[in-house]
Structure 1
């Protein structure tokens, strides 16, 4: 795990400083590009900027890299715009948090264009290169994150957005700011912890927005959870928490998906285990004892299993097994 950082000032100096003379702007852009490519560029190449941007480059920025995550903060007195051919694949997730101005992804009026305005954030999977542009006086934080960690949470939408003043976003911003202050002094374990925390905080932002914005996915989510539970019924670790983790959703979202159909995760798991135990009781050979069934299907003990079974089927497991024997015999002699 590596970490590095760079600060570059455009001709305006500190954020909010005075604009410089236009003839210094190209030199400022060259310094910015050189610093980026030296310190950050490996794995995070700069796009091609428009000629108007490089001629009037009044931007203050700072950036750092922590493993496969890059963090950039910038303020542009001037507008920033990219241009030129877009080729190749860009499998990344980017998060934009805009404090002032606006940041637009995609060419104006192009399909899939998105604008992040002041006070908003956007997390988006970037599957192919996109142009972007900002308006003058834009202040924003941009994080480049590993796609494998975030895309499962985004689902088919491939992006989530919302207010930048939510608790989760504020915590993420504060953590990324602290990385700037400490990264040069961190040892390998500290860098790893800073990286992992950044990823988990980004996940929390994505989960929160998906939970709030995707109630229409509830039936599909509930069915996916049921299918997964059915394949792990004998697993002692099976629970709502385990299912949520495997499906990359929050426990709250999973519970809401089941509640939409008038069910609960715990009740579904217990019902399916009782159904499997009932089938085992009527098996023609190799039948397990009541205590063995209770242990196999993860009931606390035989008493709990018997009570649950009787409540569900109206008879104890032993009574049910005895009643099933004549029925099998009649079925075997009929014809």
Structure 2
């Protein structure tokens, strides 16, 4: 069999990344490209080990709109350096460091030397149960010198090597990683600006009215004393669309209920309780966000 050219290897690697990690674009950098991807699924622990050099992997709004954005990529750096950008912030992570990348916003990862890292998919709903994650928490270098970061690395490595973990045990390991990272992420909090405080007020208003039929952009703008245009611009500055954000939060809470729903509980009723008056629309929206139907989601979390 003929040996693959450098471009063929690059295209094959990118196709594998898109299949396993979500929709990305990429471009080779100067020097010889190298890329290898290993995936692992230990029940709730969904991760990929990326080994690469001389390549820029990135997501724009075009890639994001065609992919599930209900995750954070939790990057555990193993070898070499990686330069990561998001929200007009850039950081360089070293072996032992950890950082969070928001799957719902554009980002860029650059490897200009041989690098190896683990990317763990961390459900947004799980992280936000314990911490309201904002821009200040993403693409921050969580240093290898911090005890909680060291413990998170060890827990991930031990969980990966134990293939006998049950579903509940792997979920507990995932929750433990969140608990370990929470105090480190909270230390990244900065004094919010007036605009950030206003955005937080809007978010809190959304959270408290997710089951209300009146929750729409026009109502939000009126309640917070701003124009609809200003409201849309505020969310756009965060890389978000207000109506999409509301729908995704409702879907996240539907998913939470489905994980504990009885077999005889009507799926349409769960969707209706969170603002989805049309079951067909609810089922379509749920599949777009989570990749499977509400019924299949419930079965998988049995």
The TM-score with structure 2 as length reference comes to 0.49
Larger radius of gyration: 1
Q: Which has the higher contact order (CA 8 A, sep 6+)?
A: 2
The TM-score with structure 1 as length reference comes to 0.45
